[in-house]
Homo-oligomer: A and B are copies of this chain.
Amino acid sequence: MSATESLVLVIEDEKPIRCFLRAYLERRDFQLIEAEDGEEGLALAAEHRPALVLLDLGLPGLDGVEVIRRLRGWSATPIIVISARGKEQDKVDALDAGADDYLTKPFGVAELAARMRVCLRHSATRSKDDQQGVYRSEELFVDLAKRQVRLNDREVRLTKIEFKLLSYLMQNVGKVVTHRQILKAVWDSDRADQLHYSRIYVRQLRSKIEPDAAAPRHLLTETGVGYRLVG
């Protein structure tokens, strides 16, 4: 089944474990790339689009759960957490943040390999387009992973909230998202009926990603319901 070599990204700060995983997994026809911390891991994931991510939670710098969240912002690639922390709450947090599995150290490599196969089996049945988090049209290009937006090859700078809004719209490209959904996703659920927030930020976003903000081509209004990013 693994006739095609699957690319696996290992995000782990302890070198011995990395070496150990490399030795074992390369014999099993996995191709490995390694990162020592969360930032590097996210960058490598954006660049190489691995089929699977093995993530240590006890990383220096960026929090592990935060790495999961950020990755999930633009990618559906399976994430298996490997951690020394065995507390139940740690597991729940990681899994709810978007991880697909959680292994506590020490673990058997045969079990790890089996769980990796489960993950790859899942993504095989799902769509094979690994261009998630990327939007293209004639004039607009967005890469969520690299946080890059270009309008007619001109770099566009988005603020944090503008970017979060665009992210959410891209995750539902083609579909209409209601004002409520937007407010809950971009702000918190408390402000789910402060209807004007979305209006104002849609306007700002349009002024940046639409060639003509008065006649939007990408971010359309569905009066009485919400907005839609055409796909």
- Contact code string A184-207 (vs B, CB < 8 Å = 1, else 0): 000000000000000000000000
A75 CB to closest chain B CB (Å) equals 13
- In the complex, A147 has a CB within 8 A of chain B: yes
Q: Describe A's contact surface by its main secondary structure.
A: mixed
- Contact code string A206-225 (vs B, CB < 8 Å = 1, else 0): 00000000000000001111
> A95 touching B117 by the CB < 8 A rule?
yes
- In the complex, A160 has a CB within 8 A of chain B: yes
Of the candidate stretches A30-38, A54-62, A107-115, A134-142, the one touching chain B is: A107-115
Please name the residue on chain B nearest to A158 by beta carbon: B222
- In the complex, A126 has a CB within 8 A of chain B: yes
- Taken together, the copies of this chain in the complex come to 2
Q: Measured between alpha carbons, how far is A223 from B95 in the docked complex, in Å?
A: 48
- In the complex, A131 has a CB within 8 A of chain B: no
- In the complex, A46 has a CB within 8 A of chain B: no
> B114 touching A91 by the CB < 8 A rule?
yes
Known A92-B111, A126-B125, A175-B147; contact A100-B118, beta-carbon cutoff 8 A? yes
A144 CB to closest chain B CB (Å) equals 11
7 more contacts with CB within 8 A, not counting A92-B113, A95-B114, A96-B114, are: A91-B114, A92-B114, A145-B175, A147-B228, A148-B174, A159-B223, A160-B223
Listed by A's residue number, 25 A-B pairs whose Cβ atoms lie within 8 Å are A76-B125, A88-B108, A88-B110, A88-B111, A89-B110, A91-B111, A91-B114, A92-B110, A92-B113, A95-B111, A95-B117, A95-B118, A96-B114, A96-B117, A99-B118, A100-B122, A101-B118, A125-B126, A147-B176, A147-B222, A147-B225, A147-B228, A157-B222, A159-B224, A160-B223
